[in-house]
Structure 1
Amino acid sequence: MTLGGARYRRVLATPGVAPLYALTVLGRVPIGLVTIALVLFLREETGSFTVAGLAAAGYALGTGLVAPFLGRLIDRLGQRPVLLPLAVVHATSMACLVPLGHADVHPAVLVAVAWVTGATVPPLSSALRALWPTLLGEERDELLPAALALDAIAIELIFVTGPLLVAAAAAVLVPEAALLFGAALTLAGTVAFVAQPASRATGPSVRTGDHGLLGAMAAPGVRAVVLCTVPAGFCFGATEVALPAFARAEGAPDAAGLLLAAWALTSAAGGFAYGARSWTSPVAQRWPLLLLGCGVTFLPLALAPSVAVMVPLAMVAGCCIAPAITAGNELVGRLAPSGVGTEAYTWVTMALVGGIAGGNAVAGALAEGPGWRAAVLTAAIVALAGGALATTRRRALVAAPSLSGAEAPR
C-alpha cells in the first residue's frame, strides 16, 4: 500500500495535474446529487416515484446518448470550444427545471427538460482521462492505472458528498436548492478547467486511419467494454432509486442520502485499494470478476429489515464499483484506436449512464409496484448477467494493448 500511495503522490505531483484534477472534481460534484435531488424534488411535487424516476432516467439518458458525439467533437475541435457552450446551456436548463416542477406541467415536459439538461453535461471525466497520457509523459505506462483509479475515487467521493448535500438542502432548505447549486458548480468548474494550460493546448486529434461513422466503436474491444458496461450501469441506477424508496418505506425518507453516501464511501475505498496495488493478472481477466462482484454484493440488500442494517449492507455493496469502473476505463484506453481517445471514453460513459437510466426507470416502477426489494433483486441479477457476458467476451478484451487510443488531442 505504501508503494501504491507513492504512485498516487507521483500522479498528483506531475505538473498541471493537481489543478485539473481539483477542477474536474468541482465540476463533477453535481453528478452525485442531481439524480437523488431530482427524485426527491419531483416525488414531492408530483407525488409519483414513476414521474420522478422517468425524469431522472431522462437526465441520465440525455447524458449517455449525446456523450459520444460530444467526445468526437472534442477530438476534432479541442476541449474549450465544446465544453464552454455546454456548461452554459446545462446550467440554464437545470435552472428551468425548478419552476417547471412547481408549475404542475405535464410529466413529459419535465422529462424532456431533464433530457436536455443531461445532454449538455460537459464531459469533464472523459476530457481529463484523454489528457492523462500526455500529462504523465514517459511514466504513463506505470502511472496511468493509478491516475484512472484516482479519477474513479473522485467520482465516488462525489457520490458520498452529493447525497449529503441533498440531505442538507432537503432538511434546511428544499431539494431544488441542490439542483441550482449543482448547476452553478458545473458552470464554475468547467470555465476554470478549460482555462488550464493542458486543456487550452488541445486541438484536433491526430488520427491513424479512417474509423468511419463508428469512430472508436470500430474497435472490437471497445464495443465489448461498452456492451458489458450497460448492465453495471443498470444496477447502479436501480439502486439510486431503490435506496430512497427503502428509506421512505421505513418511514425515514431523510435517510436516503446517508444510505447512498455509505454505498459510495466503500466504493471510493475499494478504488483506492485497487489503484494502490501492483497487479500481475491482466486487466481483461480482472474486469469481468469485478462486475460479477458487484452483482454478488448487491444481493444482500434485499434482506435489510431496517435502516440501521441497510447502512453496512450498502457499504458492502459499494466495494467493487470503483474498481470495476477503473478497470473498464483502463481497458478502453488500451483498446481504442489512435486519435479517438476522448470519444472512446464517452462511449463507456454512454453505456454507463444509459444503463443508469434504465435502472432509474425500472426501479421507479418496481418501487411503486412490487416494492423496493424487487428493485434491488433486479439490479443484482442484471449486474451478474453483465459479469457473465464480459467473461464470454474476454477474447476481444485481450487484444494487443495500446495506449495510443488514450492520447490527448494535439
Structure 2
Amino acid sequence: MTTTTDTRPPSLIRATGFGYFPIALLARLPFAMMVVGVLTLVVSARGDIALGGLNSALTGLGTAVFGPLIGAAADRLGQRRIVLLCGIVNSLALVAMSWVVFSTLPDAVVLAVAFVIGATAPQVSPLSRSRLVGVITRHLPEDRRAKTFNGTMAYESAADEIVFVFGPFLVGLLATTMNPAAPVIGAAVLTLIFVTAFAYHRTGRALTGADGRPERVVQAAASELFHIRVTTVTVGVLGMGLFFGAMLTTLTSFLADRGEPEAAGLIYGVMGIGSAIFALAVAWFSPRFTLRARWLTFAVILVVGSALLPLMDTTGGVALALALAGIGVGPTLVTQYSLGAERSPLGRSATVMTMLGSAVIVGQSASAALVGVLAESAGTAAAMMTPATAAGIVLAAGIVNWFLGKR
C-alpha cells in the first residue's frame, strides 16, 4: 500500500480553502447596499429627501461608533460568535426598516432603526483582512509571507472597490424593477446567508490549545491603539474617506448644474474601476518599492488628479480628472491597510482593521454633508476645491509616515 504526500508549497488559498474568497466577497455586499438602500427606501416611502439623507448619515454614524467595538469584541472572544450575532440582529433591523418606514410611526423611530442597522453591520471587510493576516502568519513559511501579504491586501482593497461600485447599482436595479423595499430586504437575505457562512467558515474558529480549550487571548494595552504609528495611518484613511465624500458630492453638484445628476454614479465609477485595477497591481510591485514610498507616490497622484478637477468645465474633462485620481486611490488604500496590519498591537488586529474601516465611513459621511452645504451656499466651483483639500490630508499623513518609517 502506498501513500502520497502533497509536496506542493503551502499557499493562502490552500490554507483557507478556495470557497472562502467568494463567501467573503458576497458577505460584504449587504454593507455596500445598506446606506444607499436606506436612502432610497426612506425617500420613496416618506417623500422627504432631507429625512432620507439624515437616515443614511445615522446608518454611517452607527457603523463608525460601534465598528471598532465589534472589532475589539472579535479580538477578545473570537470572530465566529460576534459575526453571527451581528448578522442576525442586522438582518432583523433591515426587515424592521422595511416595515417601520411605511407605518404611521414617527420619523424618530425610523432614524433609530437606521442607527441600529449601522451599529450592527457585520464588519466583514476589516475582519476578513484580520483573518487572512492571521492565516498568513500561522500557516505560511516566512519566506512567502511578505509577497502573499502584499497580494492579499491588494485583493481585499480591490474587493471593496468592486462591491462598493456594484452595491449601489444592485440597489437601483431592485428598487426600479421591484419596489423600494426590495434592496433592504435583499440585503437582509444576503446577510443571513453569506454573513452566516462567513461566520461559520473554518477561518473564523477561535484558536485552541493542545487540550482543545480556547487559547488565552494575549493582548497589548489598549493605549497602544493610539500610538503615533497607528494614528498616522488612521488619519490617512480618514483623509481617504473625506476624499470619497467630497468627490461624490462635488460630482453630483457639477452634473446637477448641467441637468444630468443621474449620471453621477456612472462618472464616479470611472474612478472606482481604475482604483480597483491599480489596487490589484500592487501585488506585482517590487519589495524595494517600500510602503512608505508607495503612500507618498500615489498620494501625489491623488492630489494632482483632484487639483485638475476645478479646471475642468466639461463632463469628459471631469471624468479624465477622476480617472487620474483613481490611479492614486486604490494603491494608497492598499498601502494604508498594509501598514495598519503591520502595526497592529499584539492581539488587536481586528480592532485596528475596524478602526480604519470606520475612519473611511466617518470621513465620507462628514465630507458629504459639509460639501453638500458648501455647494448649496457657495456653488459648485467652491465645492470642486474640496477633493484636493482632502487629498492634501492624505499626502500630509503620508509625509509624517515617511519620517516614522525612517525612525
Q: TM-score, normalised by structure 1?
A: 0.83
1:321 is aligned, of 329, 348, 352, to: 329
2:133·2:341 contact (CA, 8 Å) conserved in 1? no
Residues 153 and 104 of structure 1: is their aligned pair in 2 closer, same or farther, counting only changes over 3 Å?
farther
Equivalent position amino acid for 2:177 in 1: V
Residue 122, structure 1, aligned to residue 122, structure 2: yes
Equivalent position amino acid for 1:114 in 2: A
Q: Which residue of 1 aligns with 2:30?
A: 30
CA RMSD of aligned residues (A): 2.9
Q: Which residue of 1 aligns with 2:263?
A: 255
Q: Which residue of 2 aligns with 1:71?
A: 71
* CA shift digits 1:187-221 (9 cap, x unpaired): 3211011221121244767665640x43x514331
Equivalent position amino acid for 1:55 in 2: N
Q: Tell me how far 1:317 sits from its aligned partner.
A: 3.0
Q: Tell me how far 1:155 sits from its aligned partner.
A: 0.7
Q: Distance in 1 between matches of 2:48 and 2:382?
A: 18
Which deviates the most, 267-276 or 313-322?
Answer: 313-322
* CA shift digits 1:326-349 (9 cap, x unpaired): 101111111122211111111111
Give SS of 2:378's match: coil
1:332·1:344 contact (CA, 8 Å) conserved in 2? yes
Q: Which residue of 1 aligns with 2:187?
A: 182
Q: Tell me how far 1:123 sits from its aligned partner.
A: 1.2
- The total of aligned residue pairs comes to 388
1:196 is aligned, of 191, 197, 201, to: 201
Equivalent position amino acid for 1:219 in 2: H
Residues 242 and 347 of structure 1: is their aligned pair in 2 closer, same or farther, counting only changes over 3 Å?
same
1:65·1:119 contact (CA, 8 Å) conserved in 2? yes
Q: Which residue of 2 aligns with 1:6?
A: none
Give SS of 1:14's match: helix
Q: Which residue of 2 aligns with 1:96?
A: 96
Which deviates the most, 17-26 or 324-333?
Answer: 17-26
Which deviates the most, 378-387 or 237-246?
Answer: 237-246
Give SS of 1:319's match: helix
Q: Which residue of 2 aligns with 1:81?
A: 81
2:232·2:400 contact (CA, 8 Å) conserved in 1? no
Q: Distance in 2 between matches of 1:256 and 1:36?
A: 14
* CA shift digits 1:22-68 (9 cap, x unpaired): 11110111333333334444455566654433322222222122111
Residues 262 and 45 of structure 1: is their aligned pair in 2 closer, same or farther, counting only changes over 3 Å?
farther
Q: Distance in 1 between matches of 2:261 and 2:99?
A: 23
Q: Tell me how far 1:143 sits from its aligned partner.
A: 0.8
Identity of aligned residues (%): 26
Which ranges in structure 1 are unaligned for 5 or more consecutive residues?
1-9, 400-410
Residues 91 and 223 of structure 1: is their aligned pair in 2 closer, same or farther, counting only changes over 3 Å?
same
Q: TM-score, normalised by structure 2?
A: 0.84
Residue correspondence of structure 1 range 147-162 to structure 2 within 5 A: 147-162=152-167
Q: Tell me how far 1:287 sits from its aligned partner.
A: 1.6
Of structures 1 and 2, the larger Rg is shown by 2
Q: Tell me how far 1:151 sits from its aligned partner.
A: 0.6
Q: Distance in 2 between matches of 1:46 and 1:310?
A: 34
1:331·1:397 contact (CA, 8 Å) conserved in 2? no
Q: Which residue of 1 aligns with 2:170?
A: 165
Q: Distance in 1 between matches of 2:45 and 2:381?
A: 25
Q: Distance in 2 between matches of 1:43 and 1:246?
A: 22
Residues 140 and 45 of structure 1: is their aligned pair in 2 closer, same or farther, counting only changes over 3 Å?
same
